Amino acid sequence: MLKLCIAAMILGVMTASAWAQLDVAKLAEAYKAYDMARNEGKGSSENPDSSSLGWGEGGIIHTYALMWEVTEDTYWLTKISEHFHNIVGTASDPEGDGYLSWATKAYSTAVAYAERLHNVSDATITPASQINRNGKAAAECTGHKYIIDFHNGPEEFRILDWDTRQLLVEGVEHKDGAEITQIVPFKFKISGQTHQGDRFMIRTYAPESVEYVVHQGMFIYPVAKFIEAVKARPDLQEQFGADADEFLAFINQHVFEHNEQDWIEMGDRGGAYREQATFTARDPNVILPHNQYGALARAWLVLKDVEGAHPLMADRAEKMARYFHSYLELDEEKNAYKWHYMDWILYGEPKSSGYEDTSHGHIDVSLAVEAARRGVVFTDEDMVRMANTWLKVMWNQNEDNPLMASRVDGSEPFNASALLLSWSELSQWDKQVYDLALKAFLAKDEQQQARWAPAMLLCAKRAGVELPGMVGEGR
C-alpha cells in the first residue's frame, strides 16, 4: 500500500500540460513509478503458471519493449533481461523430454467415462462420456474411478471411490432417469429397471497441466525484440550481448524446437500450431485460434533474420501470417476486414467460430502489423483495411467519447477503449486512430495515463507524431 501511495504522489506532481503534450520523458518516469509499484517491479515474472505468465507478465514485459522503441533508454532493455531471467527460472521439464517449458491447469477439462458392468438387468447409464469445461468445477475432479453399486436391491444404491475403497454415499433412492450428482463435477442417469447386484463404473480424469503456445508468445515476443535490438547495435553488446545470445539459444531449443511437434502444414493456406494432444486439453490436436498461434508467430517474424536464429523460423513465420491472411473476409463497401476467432478443419470439414472479439483481436492485429512492417504477406493495402475495421466498423463514431465494439464485425456493444494495445498501432496507416486514442488517453486519470503511456507513445510514433523526448523518427 505504501509503495502505491508513493507512486501516486510521484504521478501527482506531473502537470496537466505535460500529460496533454505527451512529454515522453515525463510519461516514461510516470510509467517507471507505476511499474515499480507492481510487485516491486517484478510483475508476474516469478510465477511458474503459464496463464499468469502469458496474460499477466506478457503484457508487462511487452510494455518495456514499447518504451525501448520510443525512448531507446537501456533501462527498458534491463527490465526485459531481468524479467526473462526470472521467467526462465520458473521453467521445468515434468515430462522428462529434455525441453523446459511452462504449463497450467487453468484451461484443462475434467473427463468422465461411464459403463455398465456385466449386470443381470439391461439398465443403462448415460452419458457414456462427458467433458466438463468449467475451470472451477473441473478442478474438483479427483481423477478416481467410482462404482455405483446396487448391492442391497434395485431400489437404492451406494457409490464407492474405487481408488481408495472409501464409501462416498449410501442409501440413495433410485429413480429411473434421475440425475446422479455425487461424482463431482459430473451428472449421470441410470435408465431402466435395475437388479440387485448391478454395478456401474465411472472413470474420471482430472485436469492436467498443459503448455500453451499463446502464453509463450505473449512474453517471448518482447524478448525477441530485445534480441533483435541488441544484435543490431554494437553499442549494446557489452551490456546485453551475453543475455541476447543466451536468450536466443534458449528460445531456439525450448520454444521453437519444442513446439515443432505440434506444427501442421495447411497447403496453400500456410500452416499453424495445433493444441497439444494432452487428454484433458480443451480441444486436443485442433488447429489453434488465430490469436494463439499468432502470439508466437510475431516472435518468429522478429527473429527470422537475426543471426543464430533457428533456420525454420522464417518459414513458420510466413506460413502463419499466410494462414491468418487467408481467412480474412473483405467488406467491399467499407474496404474493411473481419475474421473469426478460429478457423479449422475437423474430420475433413472446414469449421469456423464466431467473429473475433476485440481483446483477443489485438494479438491478431499485432501479427498483421509485425508482418506488414517486415514485408511478409501483409501489404499496406491490407493494413488500411485493418484500420478501416477499427474506424468504420468498430468505432461508435463519437469523437468526444470514442468507444469500440466488442467484436471485429461490430456486432457487440461499444465498450472497448479507443486506446487498446496493438489496435492503436494501426495509426501508421490512418492517423485518425491516433486522434481517437489520444482522446481516450486524455480522458483517463493520471494513474491510468501512466499505465497506458507505453501504448499511447508507440501509437504516436507509429502515426509519425513528433514528441519531445522521442528517439528516432516516427514509424
Point out the domain boundary residue: 205, 225, 259: 205
Cα–Cα dist 40/206, whole Å: 36
Note whether 23 and 148 are same-domain residues. no
> How would DSSP label each residue in 302-324?
HHTTSTTS-TTHHHHHHHHHHHH
| Residue 473 lies inside a defined structural domain of this protein | no
Among 258, 227, 296, which Cα is nearest to 101's?
258
pLDDT at 8: 45
Point out the domain boundary residue: 205, 238, 269: 205
Note whether 260 and 375 are same-domain residues. yes
Note whether 231 and 319 are same-domain residues. yes
C-alpha cell belonging to residue 299: 516472435
Note whether 365 and 324 are same-domain residues. yes
CATH of the domain at 258: 1.50.10.10
| Residue 471 lies inside a defined structural domain of this protein | no
Cα–Cα dist 43/319, whole Å: 33
CB 190 within 8 A of CB 147: no
pLDDT at 474: 63
Among 240, 259, 232, 277, which Cα is nearest to 100's?
259
pLDDT at 17: 40
List CB contacts of 13: < 8 A, sequence separation 6 or more. Answer: none
Cα–Cα dist 167/153, whole Å: 17
Note whether 94 and 152 are same-domain residues. no
Strands 403-405 and 414-417: antiparallel
Q: What is the extent of the structural domain holding 116? A: 110-205
pLDDT at 469: 81
Q: Which amino acid is at 283?
A: D
Note whether 97 and 166 are same-domain residues. no
Point out the domain boundary residue: 205, 236, 256: 205
Indicate the number of domains in the chain. 2
Q: Which amino acid is at 377?
A: V
Note whether 78 and 165 are same-domain residues. no
Note whether 167 and 263 are same-domain residues. no
Cα–Cα dist 194/211, whole Å: 44
| Residue 141 lies inside a defined structural domain of this protein | yes
The DSSP bridge partners found for residue 173 are 156
Note whether 234 and 350 are same-domain residues. yes
φ/ψ bin of 272: left (φ > 0), alpha (ψ from -120 to 50), beta (otherwise): beta
| Residue 474 lies inside a defined structural domain of this protein | no
Note whether 136 and 218 are same-domain residues. no
Note whether 50 and 126 are same-domain residues. no
Cα–Cα dist 165/178, whole Å: 25
Note whether 416 and 268 are same-domain residues. yes
| Residue 308 lies inside a defined structural domain of this protein | yes
| Residue 11 lies inside a defined structural domain of this protein | yes
| Residue 385 lies inside a defined structural domain of this protein | yes
C-alpha cell belonging to residue 438: 489520444
What does pLDDT average to in each consecutive run of 10 residues of the chain (475 residues)? 46 42 92 96 97 98 98 97 98 94 96 98 98 95 98 97 98 96 98 98 97 98 98 97 98 98 98 96 96 98 98 98 98 98 97 98 98 98 98 97 97 94 97 97 95 97 90 70
| Residue 467 lies inside a defined structural domain of this protein | no
DSSP 104: B
